[in-house]
Amino acid sequence: MTASSALRTAFLRLTKKHQTLTTLRRGETMQSIIRVRTTAFALFCLGAFAAVAQVRNQDAVRWYNTGVNEKDPQKAVAAYEKALALDSTFTEALFAIGYAYNNQKDFARAEGYLRRASRIESGKGKGDLKAKILFELSNSHFGAGDLNASAEALRQAKVSASDDKLKTNIVFKLARVLCQQNLFQEALYELRERRQQDSKNKDSFDSFISLVENEIAAAQTRVAENTAAKPEAAPPLQPQLSDSQTTLTQAAAPSVSQPVKMAEQAIEDLYLQALGYETANNLEMSAATYENLLQQSPNYKDARMRLQTVQRRLIEKQIALEAEQKYTEGLAALRVSDWLGAIASFEKTLELKPDFSEARQRLQESQKRLDQENTDEILARYYTEGLSAMRRGDLGRCLVAFEKVRKLDPNYREVAALLAQVESEIQSQRLSAIPQAVPRTASPVVDSLYYAALKFLQQNDWKRAVVTLEKLRILSPDNSEVARLLAQARMNLSFASAEMASVDVSNDTRKILTTAGAVLAVIVLPFLFIFIFSPSVRARLHLLMGDFHGASRIYERMLTQKPTRVELYPALANIYLLSGRRDENAMKVYKTVLQLDLPFQNREQINAVFTQHYLSNGRSDNDTIKALESAIQIELNRKSARRES
C-alpha cells in the first residue's frame, strides 16, 4: 500500500470514528478522537517524507526507501542508519528512526534522533517538515511523562505549520495534553481558536469542545458538592485541586463577591493574552505579560514555568540574531578580501550556532583564500631577497632564495632564468678562481690612493680627487665609501666648472676690472638679476653653501609645477644622496631614476639605498620587484659590455 492510499484510508477511518462518536463513553471519547487524529497524522508524515527524500543523495535515498518498505522494525532502523551515514543531514531518516523508536516505546532514543532533526530544520525557518518533527518529538516527551515539554513542542509545531490539516492535528494533540494537565481553560482556548480557522472540521471541534466543557462542569459540580458537605473547611483555595479546578471552584461558589470574580477573570485574561503572544512567537510581549500576571498572582497555573520557557526562547532568538549578524559581517569581509576578518566572524557564528552549515562553508573558503595569499607573500619575499642578494653579488644567498621560490612555484616570474644565470656565474667563479688574481701590492696601493683622495677633497681639488677616486674604484669596485666620495667629488666638480669657478685676479688688474664692471653694470645688471634668480642657479648656490634642504625644496617645487621634466630627477636624487635622505619621497625619486634608466653617475649607490630600504621594511610589491629586476638587468648589461671591451 502506498503512502497516499494509506493516508486516505486513515482519514476514512477518522470519518467513521466521528459518526460513532456519540455512542462512546464520555471517558473514552476524547482519547478516541486524538488517537485517530494521531494515526492519520503519522501516515501523513511518512508519505510526505517519502516524497521529500527523492531530492537527496541517491545512495542515501535507496537505503531510506529500503527502510520504508521493510516490515521488520530493526532492519528498517538499520537501513535508515546507513542512509544517515551517507548524509548526516537526512532529516527524513532521522524522523523515521525517531518514529520507529517511539513505536517501540524507546522514548529516550527517539527524542535524541528527533532533536537532531529539529536542530537541522531550525536554521531553515518555519515549515511543515519542522512542524511534523516537533509533533513526533512531543510524542516522545508525552511517552516519557513530560507533559510540559510535550505541550511546548506542540506549540512550536503549531507556529511552524502552514498546512491546515497539519495545524488541526497539532491543536487536537495539544488540547489532549492540556487536558491531561487539567488546563481545561487553555485547552478550550486552543480548540475554539482553531475551530474558527478550520470550517471543515467543525464537528470534530464541537465534539471535543463539548467534552472539555463537560469536564469543566463536572469539576465545578464536584467542587460545589465538596463545599456544601464541608462548608467550615472550604478555604478560598483547595490545595488538593489543580489551579484550573480551583479557579472553577471559586467561579461556582455563591459566596465569592463580584469584585473577586472580576479580579480572577482579569488574571485569566492576562494568562490567555500571554499565551496568545507566545503562540504568535511574540516573545517579548509574552514575557512582559507573564511577568505582569505573576506580580498579581505568583502561583497562577503554570505561568512561572511558561515565563522561564519564553525567556529561554528569547535568549535563543538573540543568539540566532547575533549569529546572523556575525555571518553578515563575515560576508562583508569576504567581499573586500579581508580573510582574517572573515575567518574571525565565521568562527564566532559557528560558536553561537554550530549547525550553521553556510557559515562553515564560508569559513573553509576564507581559510583557503588566506593560505593562497600567504603563499603569494612568501614567494614575493623570497624572490625579492634573491634579487637583492644578486645585486650585492651574494650568489650563495641568492641561490638559496631562488631555490625556495622554485620549490613553491617553478613558474613564478623569472625565477627559472635567474636561477640558471646564478648557477652559471657560480660555476664560472669556481673555474676562474686562481691565487694570482689579486696582486700582493693591491692593498698598499689602495691605501695610498685613498689617503691621497682624502687630501685632495680637503683642499677642494675636485678634479684630482675625481681622478684618484676613479682609480680606487677600479681597484675596489665593491667599496661603498669610495663610491660615495666619488659621487660627492663629481658633484662639486660639476658645480665648480659650470658657474662657480673661481678666478684669481692679480692686484694690478683689480682696478681695471672694477672700472669695467661698473661701466657694464648698467647694461648687464638686468640680465644678471634674471640669471641669479633662476631656480637652477639658486639651487646650485644652496648646494655650494651646503644647504641641501634648500636646494631640494627648489627642485621639488620645480617638479611640482612641471612633473614632466624628467631631467630634474637625477639632480634631485643626487641631493637626496648627499643629504642622506631615506624617506618615502626620496625613495620615489630613486625609483623613478631606476625605472626610467635616467643618466646618473652614482647609480650603484642609489640602487643599494633603494633595495636596502624596501627590504628592511618588508616591502615586496610589484614596483619594488620590477625596479630590482631592472637594476639587475642594467648591471648585467654593463658587465657584458665590459667583458666585450
Residue-wise pLDDT for 235-282, tens only, equals 443 334 444 444 444 444 444 455 666 777 778 888 888 888 887 778
- Report which residue type is found at 257: S
Neighbour-count burial of 142, counting CB atoms closer than 10 A to its CB (0-12 exposed, 13-18 middle, 19+ buried): buried
Residue 641: its pLDDT value, please? 65
Residue 3: its pLDDT value, please? 38
pTM: 0.36
Q: How far apart are CA 605 and CA 481, in angstroms?
A: 10
Residue 644: its pLDDT value, please? 62
**Cα dihedral 118/121/123/127 (nearest 10):** -120
Residue 229: its pLDDT value, please? 62
Residue 519: its pLDDT value, please? 54
Phi, psi values for residue 412, rounded to 5°: -75, 120
User: How far is the first Cα of the chain from the last one, in angstroms, to the nearest whole number?
Assistant: 100
Task: Check residue 572 and report its DSSP letter.
Answer: H
Is 565 within 8 Å of 554 (Cβ atoms)? no
Instruction: Name which of 142, 206, 199 is nearest 176 in CA terms.
Output: 142
Residue 11: its pLDDT value, please? 35
A 10 A CB-CB count for 295 gives 8
Q: How far apart are CA 118 and CA 153, in angstroms?
A: 10
Residue 97: its pLDDT value, please? 92
Residue-wise pLDDT for 205-222, tens only, equals 888 888 888 877 777 777
Distances 203 to 147, 191, 620 between C-alpha atoms, Å: 27, 12, 81
Residue 522: its pLDDT value, please? 53
Residue 251: its pLDDT value, please? 43
Is 398 within 8 Å of 389 (Cβ atoms)? yes
Distances 15 to 19, 245, 549 between C-alpha atoms, Å: 6, 33, 103
Residue 561: its pLDDT value, please? 79
Distances 342 to 78, 136, 220, 348, 422 between C-alpha atoms, Å: 41, 39, 64, 10, 42
Is 466 within 8 Å of 495 (Cβ atoms)? no
Residues of the chain with pLDDT below 70 are 1-56, 123-126, 223-261, 373, 430-443, 495-533, 541, 544, 601-602, 611-612, 614-631, 633-645
A 10 A CB-CB count for 297 gives 17
Is 598 within 8 Å of 570 (Cβ atoms)? yes
Residue 258: its pLDDT value, please? 57
242: left (phi over 0), alpha (psi -120 to 50) or beta: beta
- Which three three-digit cell numbers place residue 3? 503512502
